[in-house]
Structure 1
Amino acid sequence: MSQAENSDDKSLVERFLEDNVLFLGPDPEIMKNHKLAPESPRETQALAQFTDPEVVNLVRNKLQTACNESFEMVEQMGAAPGAKWGDLISGIWTSSGDLALSSMGGVLLFSVLTQHPVKFIVKYWADEPTVGIHEGDIFMHNDARYGNAHNTDQSLLIPVFHEGQLICFTGAVVHEGENGATEPGGMPSAAESPFDEGLKIPPLKVGENYTFRRDIMTFLQNSVREPKLQLEGMKAKLYAAMRMKDRVLDAIAEYGVDPVIATLRRTLTDTADEVRRRLRTWPDGTVRQNVFPDGTLRENCLVKIRLAMTKKDDELILDFRGSSPEFLNRANNTILSSMKGMLAQEFLTFVWPDLPRNQAVFEPMTVVTDPGSALNCSPDAPNAQCMMTFFPSFTAAQLAVPKFLYSAGERSTDIVAGWYNMIVTLIYGGINQHGELVGNVCADLNGMGGAARSNRDGEHAVAPIFAPMADIGEQELIEEEVPILKIVPNRVMRDNQGFGKFRGGQGYQQIATAKDSAMWGFMVCSIGSKFPSSHGIFGGYGPGTFPLCKIKNVDMFKVMDDQRELLRYTIEELMNDRPFPDATYSTHHMGLQFELAERGELYMLTQGAGGGYGDVLERAPEAVAADYRDGLVSLSTARDIYQVVLNPDTAAVDAEATSAARNAERAARLKRGKPFAEFVKDWETETPPADVPFFGSWGDPRLLFRGTPEDTCPADAIVPVMMPNPKDVRIAELEAKLAQLQG
């Protein structure tokens, strides 16, 4: 056979394979690349014909206002807790799929995530005869493997045309919650495979002529526990997208199509250029930071997050190699693109909040991971609880950045310590008081304690790390929809702060129960019950560790009727005093899989605190006294941590005794101290401790431990971890005890 015939046969086979793709899964070229798409010929033309910076500013402000307006529309119309209380964004994407503008409030981690499904639509559906992109089309998506945080987030977008030409896309992304997963609420910590995670919608056309297809809508509603919520959420996002489309067309009518196209592109390139300029003011160097999640939500263990952050010229490299291997049957893994979105949140909110909310903020940055790690998991690993690894990854970055900013030539914000980083709240499911099957998450997860700053204390329960402007919800409105009653909804807990020269903002305690339901249950999904999930900086303390507390075999509503004198209103008093004689009191890590609860039983959580900044001995005694008067710290904390001597009745500072106490503590520190070489000799070991399940590198980042000192794998050939079922582990323990008792 001739070479020409071989070539023809090869071309024929290649064309056949191209025309007969069995499955359009996530595109690695799209998913691995968070950079801007190349400038299109139409953008080049618009940029050449339109250069007026004043008009660019006018168009940009008009479109930004449209994003903010549509954000408020979704908040007002949405039914899901995430929609009502700000866990969303709305935005405008270029015709190539880059997010150019998004709402000022909401979940900014979506800013770097949402480009991927749009680029999939542009690449695969534009020229696909059975799909296409036409005016009036409605596209939807939720699968994290095509670009999302996790499957509980749903996006909807529409193309915007002008005179037959695709100009951009508009749409919104909302944490909708319920998605038909193996546990209610959309974030199943019990998921052992991607097929336990509920709806898996790739970028999908769900409507035409701005109208949903009823058959597809019925399919989606039939796949979840709350069909009304699914319908309402899709409608709210559609109307918001249509409002933004109208505003884009208004801008075209007022300024012209070239100014709009040029503004979208310039907003991206100007942002990237400005980030590079600011990075050049940072000192070159490398900062290393380790963070240790203390569990998978099903068992306690140490999961290492290892970061080496390197700044060189105008680029920032975040190297996470040496972090934990993936868990093939646990939900705490993250897709790499999801982690990039969370890392971008650090810069959009805490470093450069003055920059436009778009993906270009992260363009000059590079993320390096080990494929198959928990931070860059395979498609076979579940990721419904990806927050358990990408939140700590965010914290690693947040703790590393101040080392650069402290010496930076330019700063846009105060230097902050580690923000509290866990979603401490109740996920619920069951039959509500109206007889409807429901499942979702409480919005008070948004009240995370703010970190201390370089010049002042952190704010109490101010905002989540993933959304600078979000709300914790109104308890009265929540009680109208679900049978959850908060005996104590949001009460700041004493001593719950990151101690320091400037203390972190405090979190609140929640004491909840349920009534008027034939079937109701709760979940909790948080880490940090054994090992702090965040930290302070420059000598400041991290937050404490927080357990889940339960009081079972009690009906609080009967107690309210007959024995009100037994009531207590803090977790501390309830768990220490144990006022209900026949109840069962218990504490647990905060990875509770869904369990049914009886009427009046109590579930108690503590929202965490922000990390502290600086040495506790440098905190102004008057500030400690003020915290004591406000009930934020106890007398023992003032005395033992801050070394401040107070009058317990008046909170007056004994200046002389305080000075003596602090001098004594400084002397004690010197006595406890060791030369570094001596300390390291005692501290360092060849392998992790045998009695603590440890996952990740110990010394050499090229060698990963898989739970025991004997079980290792190379970082460039990771062997996924399979964890035993905790119930099987418990059964084996009990059988061993039984065998021992039986002799």
Structure 2
Amino acid sequence: MKLDPITLEILSRKMVAITDEVYFTVQRTARSSFVNEVADFAVAFLDVKGDVFAYPPSASFNFLMDTNFYSTIEAVPDLVPGDIIITNDPYTSNGLSTHLPDVHLIQPYFDGDRLIGYGWAFIHSLDFGGAVSGSVSAINTEIFQEGLRIPPMKLMKAGKFNEELLTLIRLNTRVPDVTIADFKAMMGALEIGNRRLQEIVARYGTDTMVQATQDIQDYTADRAREVFRRIPDGSYDFWDYLDDDVVSGIPLRVRLRLEVNDGQVLLDLTGTDPLSDSSFNLASLGRRMYWLSFRLTGFLTTFDPLIPRNAGFYRHIEVKNQPGCVFDARGHTAVGMRHSAPFRLFDCVSGAILKANPEMMTAAMGGSMATFQFAETDAHGQLKVEVVEPLRSGMGAIRGRDGVDARDNSVNNMRNRPAELVERELGLRVLNYDINPDSGGPGQWRGGVGQALTVELVGENGGEILISGLERSRMAPWGFEGGRPGALVAAIINEGRADERPVTKGLPLNLARGDTVTLRMPGGGGFGDPLMRDEQAVLHDAEQGFISVAGAARDYGVVIIDGAVDAEATATLRARPHLAPALFAFGAQRDAWEAVFDDATMLEINRRLYLLPQPRRYGVRRAFFDAVVPGISHDTMTPLDRLIGDVAAARLRLRHALDTILSEAGLPGRAVA
């Protein structure tokens, strides 16, 4: 029988408060910078079925509630008090972990002999083995290259460490002491959660507490459906792109059909590109999971800020995954960069909801979440692996409000590392840590600007950098209703010197003392015609450094002289003829790409590719795009509009390639105009 509303409210708030205590215990006792400074970790309480019923409001991630915990629990039978399960393997955990640095612990909670739930915690480890320091490399082709894999098993057995497993872990991480210390921080925090839940059981009884774990999820599910009912019923298509997958320069397309019916939501990913030969794949294993649903998590918490956070969020969401696509990694496929394609799905959901109701969503986020890691050998010969900064882009604008600057909390609220700590702990000097001017998409409401960082290597031995997540280097963060795209990401070694060169995302690079690394993050897309932006708002942006004086004239038609708006010159500039605003502004490179590879063409190409056995698809796809855009499989830097050149000639090559390369692969099909 369901609990009365007052008792349910009291218990819900008590359990959520405990999760916050557990959360801060992990953060304050862990040793790695990923946890105690950046906050790349999470905790939760799970019910007896493995669903989240309480989640900490202070967590940097809001979307990890949509996770398959039960497969991991089921894989380790005969749990007793004092046991703790550990895993980091996406495949044997059936998607609990999504890449190997994410290490998960689950502790069963008992009242006597009766199971009453579980405590869960995860951290992003600084290093868990593999080919590169930090364990994440874009060019890995199979998961065996990515680090130590731990299937669901017991780290603690009835209160005693599994010493053989700990020995194995120590031998397979570059920072063993920090790694084990982080495990102990999670274990201590989970035990605190256990004791606090026992206090609730002692006061309210086991049956009442267990019933509350179910009732609160039912309550959340009902509230979530009411929010989804605000989206008009219908079917809405949208697609977006990764710039490339590093091992080729071919854009990787994510396609979504959003279907809404009386608060029931379907995310149909049919038509998304096949698996990559690099690590830009996600092991969802055919399930709905947080990397697929996380845009809707933010949607729910925006329109119902007080909704209790638990697995009930997702009861009315269904995902239809294309078998063999980048969201459906199987077997031994590499998955280290598993977050990149979901970021484009995130923007696809935004675009689809904008089509449904322009009042309910922002233009594209900056869409780049660059994690800058650094490895060096100190004076004592000891290897150190640390995160420098989790760089962030700006948020997209929404009707009536500018995007948030230098922060994208629609994805997560991971924290920055203070420059003083970076300089104290690493052989780096921070030369610049600021906002990136003119990076926000111009609009009546401006897209938020991204961050900017420049560091210099000052250690005697130099070091190795690895920056993952450098997306939006070609496909700009799009604007809406006349708003323009945000700026592209830039990552440069030794900017302004003779040996200046770009950084390739997700690849390690050895640098010497005196070398510099500059990162300029993209801004969010603008919303509305920038010529409609209030002149004083443009002046304020220029005074604050969000835009330059030149940008004010170029993008907004506002002339600023000696710190004031020149009204006459501004009126003249704004009166000049200009193109009618587009509903979506995608930028020159995407426009050129889609002039050749439009939606119908891409659906036909993928329809044929998916008829091939999975091992053949990538090679045939690569040969096909090389025939249409010569050299693209080896070029990740040249802008797409320059690579394509003559669109009409490229369309002729496209028809020829369809008739030759795909047909010779045994894939005849419909002609493309």
With over 3 angstroms needed to count, the CA separation of the structure-2 counterparts of 1:395 and 1:683, relative to structure 1, is: closer
Unaligned runs of 5+ in 2: 583-590, 624-630, 636-673
With over 3 angstroms needed to count, the CA separation of the structure-2 counterparts of 1:207 and 1:368, relative to structure 1, is: same
> How does 1:100-499 map onto structure 2 within 5 Å?
100-104=53-57, 105-113=59-67, 116=68, 118-126=69-77, 132-145=78-91, 146=93, 147=95, 148-327=97-276, 329-336=277-284, 340-353=289-302, 354=305, 355-406=307-358, 415-432=361-378, 435-445=381-391, 447-467=392-412, 469-488=413-432, 490-499=433-442
Counterpart Cα distance in 2 of 1:684 and 1:205? 50
How many matched pairs? 608
8 Å CA contact 1:703, 1:715 repeated in 2: no
> How does 1:617-636 map onto structure 2 within 5 Å?
617-636=531-550
- Partner in structure 2 of residue 563 of structure 1: none
Query: Helix, strand or coil for the counterpart of 2:609?
Result: strand
TM-score, normalised by the number of residues in structure 1? 0.77
Query: Helix, strand or coil for the counterpart of 1:135?
Result: coil
Query: Helix, strand or coil for the counterpart of 1:720?
Result: helix
- Partner in structure 1 of residue 658 of structure 2: none
Query: Helix, strand or coil for the counterpart of 1:189?
Result: coil
- Partner in structure 2 of residue 713 of structure 1: 609
8 Å CA contact 1:502, 1:612 repeated in 2: yes
Counterpart Cα distance in 1 of 2:74 and 2:605? 39
- Partner in structure 1 of residue 597 of structure 2: 688
Provide the aligned C-alpha RMSD in A. Answer: 2.7
User: Could you list the per-position Cα deviations for residues 415-443 of structure 1 after superposition, in whole angstroms to 9, with x for gaps in the alignment?
Assistant: 32222222224222231456421334334
Moved more, 361-370 or 206-215: 206-215
Counterpart Cα distance in 2 of 1:423 and 1:336? 21
8 Å CA contact 1:309, 1:319 repeated in 2: yes
Q: CA deviation at 1:238?
A: 0.5
> How does 1:635-646 map onto structure 2 within 5 Å?
635-646=549-560
Q: What is the letter of the counterpart of residue 93 of structure 1?
A: L
Query: Helix, strand or coil for the counterpart of 1:699?
Result: helix
User: Could you list the per-position Cα deviations for residues 86-112 of structure 1 after superposition, in whole angstroms to 9, with x for gaps in the alignment?
Assistant: 212110001111111211222233221
Counterpart Cα distance in 1 of 2:147 and 2:105? 18
Counterpart Cα distance in 2 of 1:140 and 1:178? 16
Counterpart Cα distance in 2 of 1:477 and 1:549? 23
User: Could you list the per-position Cα deviations for residues 296-352 of structure 1 after superposition, in whole angstroms to 9, with x for gaps in the alignment?
Assistant: 13442211111111111221111111111111x300111226983124322322442
Picking from 568, 572, 577, the partner of 1:660 is 572
Counterpart Cα distance in 2 of 1:686 and 1:502? 29
Counterpart Cα distance in 1 of 2:425 and 2:232? 53
Q: CA deviation at 1:257?
A: 1.1
Q: What is the letter of the counterpart of residue 451 of structure 2?
A: Y
Counterpart Cα distance in 1 of 2:574 and 2:377? 57
Counterpart Cα distance in 2 of 1:507 and 1:685? 27
Report whether the alignment pairs 1:701 with 2:652: no
- Partner in structure 1 of residue 49 of structure 2: 96
Q: What is the letter of the counterpart of residue 668 of structure 1?
A: H
8 Å CA contact 1:161, 1:168 repeated in 2: yes
Counterpart Cα distance in 2 of 1:532 and 1:197? 28
Counterpart Cα distance in 2 of 1:506 and 1:527? 16
Q: CA deviation at 1:279?
A: 2.0
User: Could you list the per-position Cα deviations for residues 481-528 of structure 1 after superposition, in whole angstroms to 9, with x for gaps in the alignment?
Assistant: 32232222x211221212111112111211112233536211122344
Q: CA deviation at 1:720?
A: 3.4
8 Å CA contact 2:368, 2:489 repeated in 1: no
Counterpart Cα distance in 2 of 1:292 and 1:698? 16
Q: CA deviation at 1:69?
A: 1.2
Q: CA deviation at 1:133?
A: 0.5
> How does 1:470-549 map onto structure 2 within 5 Å?
470-488=414-432, 490-518=433-461, 520-528=463-471, 530-549=473-492
- Structure having the higher Rg: 1
User: Could you list the per-position Cα deviations for residues 232-268 of structure 1 after superposition, in whole angstroms to 9, with x for gaps in the alignment?
Assistant: 1100111111111111111111211122111111122
With over 3 angstroms needed to count, the CA separation of the structure-2 counterparts of 1:250 and 1:372, relative to structure 1, is: same
